[in-house]
Amino acid sequence: MRGEYKFENRLSFQASYNMFLPENLYLSLLPGLRLNTQTTKLVHTMPQKSIPMSVRVSKEDAQFIASLNIPGASSPSDRLRSIIRQARENHEKKHDYESTSEKIRSLMEPGLARVRTAEQDHDMHSQLFTHVCDWIPDTLALLVDLTQSETEQPLEADQLVKLEKQITDRVFRLVEQIFRLGITEHCPCYEPSIISKRIQPSLDLARVITDSVNRNK
């Protein structure tokens, strides 16, 4: 089987030829390749079981691909395969609340890992930060899930009511968690007094709301 590959440099050739081959196999095939300098095409005579793909990228894109830190991907072609695989999995993956929440958490994970490392180094912890980081993907997934819905039909009134209830439940759950941190003057946060110094205006507002509700009974 005979194939031809257009290329601009060794990186673009390696990306195109090694798209489906391990690095060691790619290197073992180099002696069987010959360069046609008149047509600027690389011609090979080795059997190919995969579908060949030629990839042309700019210098900036090549540098970006080379700089990507993807576990198990040591070469540019490994990184390209990983990018394609991730894109395909994302396209084929079922889009629902659970998968959306999981995806948001995965996007947050690198930053959260840095925070956990810093907490370990400085022997610190913030329950406020933990509550908020749990709340964000749980709540945001509700809205993101709407944009990934397989149907573009207008939302019905009962769907809007349900969405509002779900968001309200999550908002008040977070508020209650934060208020519990204010039971004592020193809460388990990086700054122990961060809640007590800020909670009074919220308590005053809650008192006004309570008085208004009692008068209307």
Q: Which residues contact 157 (CB under 8 A, 6 or more apart)?
A: none
Reading the chain (217 residues) residue by residue, the pLDDT tens digits are 344 444 444 444 444 444 444 444 444 444 444 434 344 344 444 454 667 777 788 889 888 888 888 888 888 888 888 888 888 877 776 667 888 888 899 999 999 999 999 999 999 999 999 999 999 999 999 888 777 666 667 888 998 999 999 999 999 999 999 999 999 889 999 999 999 999 999 999 999 999 998 988 7
With a CB cutoff of 8 Å and minimum separation 6, the contacts of 118 are 124
What ranges do the domains of the chain cover? 3-91, 94-215
Q: Report how far residue 169's alpha carbon sits from residue 166's, in angstroms, rounded to the nearest whole number.
A: 5
DSSP lists the bridge partners of residue 138 as none
User: Would you tell me how many other CB atoms lie within 10 Å of the CB of residue 61?
Assistant: 11
Q: Is 38 helix (H, G, I), strand (E, B) or coil?
A: coil
